[in-house]
Amino acid sequence: MSPRKRVAHIRWKPKSSATPVKKAKPRAGSRSKQTAVLPLHEELFRELLVVADERERNQIISSRPSLFTVSVVQQLSEAVRGQLRIEPRQALKLAQSALFIARSIQDPAALGSALRSNANARHMVGDNRESLELSNQALEIFRQLGDKSEIARTLNASIQPLILLGDYQAAFRAAAEAKTLFKQLRDNRHLGHVQINLGNIFHRQDRFEEALACYENAYKTLLSLKDTEGLAVALSNMSVSLISLNDFDRALLTYGRARKLCTRHKISILLTQTDYNIAYLYYLRGEYGRAIELLRQTRQACEENGDAHVLALCDLDLSEIYLELNLSDGAAGAARESVERFHALGMGYEEAKSVTNQAIALGQQGRCEPALELFRRARAIFVQEKNQVWPWLIDLYRGLVLLEAGRDFEAKRYCNDALGYFRTAHLPSKTVLCDLLLSELALRSGDRESARTYCEKAVSVLSSDLPILQFQIEFMFGRIEESLGKSQDAYDHFRKARDGAESLRSKLYREELKIAFIKDKADVYEHLVDLSLSGRVPSAGPAEAFAFMDQAKSRNLAEVVFSNIFSTSHEGAEPSKSGHRLRELREELNWYYRRIEIEQLSADANNRDRIQDLQAHATLRENAILRSLRDLPHSEAPPLASFVAGEASVSKIQSGLEDGQTLIEYFGIQDRLVAAIISRDTFEIVPVTSISRVSQIVESLRFQFSKFQLGAEYVRRFYQSMIRAANGHLKSLHDELILPLQKHLSAKHLIIVPHGLLHHVPFQALTDGDKYLIDSFEISYAPSAAIRDMCGKRRINKDSNSLIFGLPDQIAPFIRDEVEIVADILPNARVYMDDQATEAVLKEQGRLAQYIHIATHGKFRADNPMFSGVRLGESYLNVHDLYKMRLPADLITLSGCATGLNSVLAGDELVGLARGLLAAGPRALLLSLWDVNDESACLFMRHFYTQLISGCSKVNALAQAMREVRNFAPHPYYWAPFVLMGHA
């Protein structure tokens, strides 16, 4: 669980009590930035805003002796105040010009005003130490002059830099003196501004109720004065405190009022900060997609207007969201960026929070000791900052990391320490986290009653809409009731937890975020299946168990498939700046892929270092692409359904089966493997075997297949012994996976829905010792029963057009022969070879083809499966690229190496090329489970397409082709790599 951090409050920079600053029209050539200038010297102001450096600025001013007056300093200072809320970097240029003139004319009041303008501008661009030094210089001048109003205004301006630098006592002293002086002067407007900054001090120390009271008092004071900007700041900061106090609805309503004021009066910096806080509000409510979208927009605005503080905060918030979604690599990267930004800004408090997120990311990756070291570093900074909350929160996160490391005693000690503080501080979400952690520790030790007590305390504290905590509470209650033998109660809690996880997941816009999010939520399905099959839950049974089994698989892929059943195009509008950058990164990545391939094909024995260097550069681009994809506007992201799709009831699946078809869906429960067997008129779930036993056999089989990489001479010498060894492992798998189901398998066509490691098992090659499974059955595969059902309902091209790509090389020269053979068999074939076989051609011609055949090299990426791809003429086509395509074919064949391999992730298993292809719209896929032999693949495709075009079904053509190739090459490595997936 990532830290629930405090949202940034908006800092107040008071305007002069003089006449309001006029806003000039945008300059020529500018689309959105406005420049605040006074009527006098407008041309000069424009020149000063575009100067390159200090020397050029001083020359411009020195060439006009008439500028060296107090009046011009006042005009420039006034322009600074107006420009601060629009473009701080431009405001700094004007402030530096005012300071140059003021020092030249040696007028104390003008110098003090110019120094304060520079302090304000330095603060807005993030240079708080310099800002404070300039404020102190101005304050000394105004004290010598005895000007109470200027002293008070300067003190008020110094409060926010003092807060950000952690000097809270000095900030309180400045606020107290400023309040006293403004009261003496009866200046209620500036008194309201001091109240806002006083609230900021309290908020920084997590004293949220006191902060809220200050903001409310400021709002009441400023309302009668019609101080628009002051009211907007007070409203926005009230919302920040309401968020921290978990009053979400009131916070969102208050933000709306603040945003209207900012928009109406064009206060751009304040509007950016308000949008940032709204984004964090969406995150807290579990609306991760909306939060990321708004943070993307806010980061772009910050880069344009120079708000370094909020830019750093956006990185910090993104790291938190990625932590919540289990994207630990992305979280660590965003946290590192924010650490660097906050360190440069001299903001120890935010730097410490960023370090904390780095530590949590390392903890998620199982790197306990480095994580604990970072926690110690972060805690020391928080103590130095005199923060009351975060040192205890660090202890909570220490406890979580230690829990994962199995160091329960240390975890309990840290958690109890943190809980004692959170209860007295009335911080409910943090109290709930402590209670949940202690409940987990109690359950581990067998103390079920204490576990229940802690969980009940969590419920009593949780009074707000915090969906991620509600999921965890329900899941914990379910485990406790299950351990006490109260199966119905446990089932009810797990159902609620499942509903909560689905609700949270369905709000995510980005596909890869959804996959990551569901990883630690998948256990709930396992518990539901187990209880449904136990016979101890009156309201559940085998039918409910099957529904949960299928729901646990490829949930997000089901939404993609469902949303594309009736879609006609994935094409979007003109891409944004982010979209163009994404295209540039893809082009760079393709260049590195190609360079790696050239080096790997090279005969140079000393190129290992070059390959490693190229791979490092490619990895950097891959990570940048993932970040860009997460940041893409929703309108440019892959389309997803906005609802939960793919509910698979037994009756629904039975209605989609034909006579002679049986669906076998495997599912793992801890170390047990069960299988649901469904035909048109029968349904049963039976125990199969242990997962650990199957895992050992699968690893042995993969080792046998890897021997084909030892060279032709080795294969020739040991070919017969290699066949015997492989068949021995295949028989063992048959005995474990098929024999327990034998009496239920009277159908002709078996539809296999694997689970976990079974995605790597070639069921067609399993043998009983006399014959292979493909000799008795036709076999196809599906990621889930629901996805197969949906693929069967797709609208596909029925015109007999075929699209064929071929990319032969020295490793796979038979690809050219394969393409010629397939082109002679398939109807109306359009053939594209080598550099002509491009992504653009596939996107354009693939829309019209009934059959698509691509013969090339495939690449499965176990480290980053979404970058699994196949080589085309000018690029590598990966999963993300396929999401953007519309390929409504009856069959897509990837005749390459390992094109059917997928990473097996809990809750959304199928992550690889098959995922992208199924999303693109075909009814069925023909893929390979391992690196295929070039010559046998060519022979296989000849027999497969000949049978298919002659009128055979896909599964029948597949079975006949396998038998034909087996006559030529008996080892399963040659004849069994291809699998049909989807509605075959």
pLDDT above 90: percentage of residues in the chain: 34
What pLDDT is attached to residue 871? 79
The per-residue pLDDT for range 207-222, each reduced to its tens digit, is 888 999 999 999 899 8
What pLDDT is attached to residue 460? 86
Instruction: Determine phi and psi for 108, rounding to 5 degrees.
Output: -60, -45
Q: Who has greater pLDDT, 765 or 635?
A: 765
Q: b/e for 585-619, b at 16 or more Cβ within 10 A? A: bbebbbebbebbbebeeeeeeeeeeebeebeebbe
- Cα distances from 357 to residues 278, 332, 395, 410, in angstroms, run 21, 7, 13, 21
What pLDDT is attached to residue 809? 77
Instruction: List, in sequence order, every residue forming a beta bridge with 876; answer none if it has no partner.
Output: 871
What pLDDT is attached to residue 126? 74
Residue 869: strand, helix, or coil? strand
What confidence tier does 709 reach under pLDDT thresholds 50, 70, 90? confident
Is residue 909 within 8 Å of residue 783, measured between CB atoms? Answer: yes
What pLDDT is attached to residue 600? 54
What pLDDT is attached to residue 736? 96
- The alpha-carbon radius of gyration of the chain (Å, integer) is 33
**How would you class 768 by CB atoms within 10 Å of its CB: exposed for 0-12, middle for 13-18, buried for 19 or more?**
middle
What pLDDT is attached to residue 286? 61
User: Measured in Å, how far apart are the chain's first and last C-alpha atoms?
Assistant: 42
Say yes or no to pLDDT of 796 above 90.
no
The per-residue pLDDT for range 636-653, each reduced to its tens digit, is 444 433 333 446 889 999
Q: Six-digit token pair at 620?
A: 């950097």
Is residue 48 within 8 Å of residue 57, measured between CB atoms? Answer: yes
Q: Who has greater pLDDT, 866 or 432?
A: 432
The per-residue pLDDT for range 940-971, each reduced to its tens digit, is 999 999 999 999 999 999 999 999 999 989 99
The per-residue pLDDT for range 830-851, each reduced to its tens digit, is 999 988 888 888 888 888 899 9
Say yes or no to pLDDT of 76 above 60.
yes
Say yes or no to pLDDT of 698 above 70.
yes
Is residue 715 within 8 Å of residue 686, measured between CB atoms? Answer: no
Say yes or no to pLDDT of 908 above 90.
no
What confidence tier does 862 reach under pLDDT thresholds 50, 70, 90? low
Say yes or no to pLDDT of 900 above 70.
no
What pLDDT is attached to residue 580? 66
The per-residue pLDDT for range 419-437, each reduced to its tens digit, is 988 888 777 778 888 999 9
Distance CA 177, CA 169 (A): 12
What confidence tier does 909 reach under pLDDT thresholds 50, 70, 90? very low
Lowest mean pLDDT among 397-406, 493-502, 569-578, 666-675: 569-578
Distance CA 279, CA 5 (A): 13
Q: How many CB atoms lie within 10 A of CB 633?
A: 16
What pLDDT is attached to residue 645? 43
Say yes or no to pLDDT of 672 above 90.
yes
Q: Nearest-CA neighbor of 9 among 311, 279, 240?
A: 240
Q: Who has greater pLDDT, 468 or 65?
A: 65
What pLDDT is attached to residue 721? 94
What confidence tier does 507 reach under pLDDT thresholds 50, 70, 90? low
Is residue 94 within 8 Å of residue 67, measured between CB atoms? Answer: no
Q: b/e for 129-157, b at 16 or more Cβ within 10 A? A: ebbbbbbebbbebbeeeebbebbbbbbbb
Distance CA 646, CA 642 (A): 13
What pLDDT is attached to residue 725? 94
What pLDDT is attached to residue 384? 85
Say yes or no to pLDDT of 579 above 90.
no
User: Mean pLDDT throughout 114-141?
Assistant: 88
Q: Highest mean pLDDT: which of 214-223, 225-234, 852-861? A: 214-223
The DSSP secondary-structure symbol of 40 reads: T
User: Mean pLDDT throughout 752-764?
Assistant: 90
What pLDDT is attached to residue 74? 85
What pLDDT is attached to residue 789? 85
What pLDDT is attached to residue 860? 62
- Cα distances from 676 to residues 131, 174, 686, 784, 860, in angstroms, run 69, 72, 7, 12, 30
Q: How many CA atoms lie within 13 A of 765 on its CB side?
A: 26
User: Mean pLDDT throughout 447-458?
Assistant: 92
Distance CA 924, CA 791 (A): 8
DSSP string across 409-471: HHHHHHHHHHHHHHHHHT-HHHHHHHHHHHHHHHHHTT-HHHHHHHHHHHHHH--S--HHHHH
Q: Six-digit token pair at 870?
A: 């196949």
Q: Who has greater pLDDT, 378 or 276?
A: 378
The per-residue pLDDT for range 47-60, each reduced to its tens digit, is 776 676 778 878 88
User: Mean pLDDT throughout 491-506?
Assistant: 79
Q: Nearest-CA neighbor of 228 among 267, 255, 185, 183?
A: 267
Distance CA 476, CA 482 (A): 10
Q: Nearest-CA neighbor of 900 among 968, 976, 842?
A: 976
pTM of the complete model: 0.66
User: Mean pLDDT throughout 797-802?
Assistant: 84
What pLDDT is attached to residue 26? 27
Q: Nearest-CA neighbor of 124 among 78, 93, 167?
A: 93
DSSP string across 125-189: TT-HHHHHHHHHHHHHHHHHHT-HHHHHHHHHHHHHHHHHTT-HHHHHHHHHHHHHHHHHHT-HH
Q: How many CB atoms lie within 10 A of CB 71?
A: 10
Convert 676-726 into a string of H (helix), E (strand) and C (coil): EEECCCCEEEEEEEEHHHHHHHHHHHHHHHHHHHHCHHHHHHHHHHHHHHH
Q: Nearest-CA neighbor of 296 among 630, 623, 31, 586?
A: 630
Say yes or no to pLDDT of 677 above 90.
yes
The per-residue pLDDT for range 178-209, each reduced to its tens digit, is 999 999 999 999 999 999 999 989 888 778 88
User: Mean pLDDT throughout 847-876?
Assistant: 75
What pLDDT is attached to residue 906? 45
The amino acid that residue 147 corresponds to is D
Distance CA 510, CA 349 (A): 31
Instruction: Determine phi and psi for 805, rounding to 5 degrees.
Output: -110, 140
Q: Who has greater pLDDT, 107 or 269?
A: 107
Q: Who has greater pLDDT, 770 or 21?
A: 770
What confidence tier does 589 reach under pLDDT thresholds 50, 70, 90? low
The secondary element (H helix, E strand) that includes residue 927 is strand 924-928
Lowest mean pLDDT among 18-22, 263-267, 322-326: 18-22
The mean pLDDT value of the chain amounts to 80
Distance CA 793, CA 656 (A): 10
Q: Six-digit token pair at 616?
A: 């490092």
Q: Highest mean pLDDT: which of 163-177, 218-232, 612-626? A: 163-177
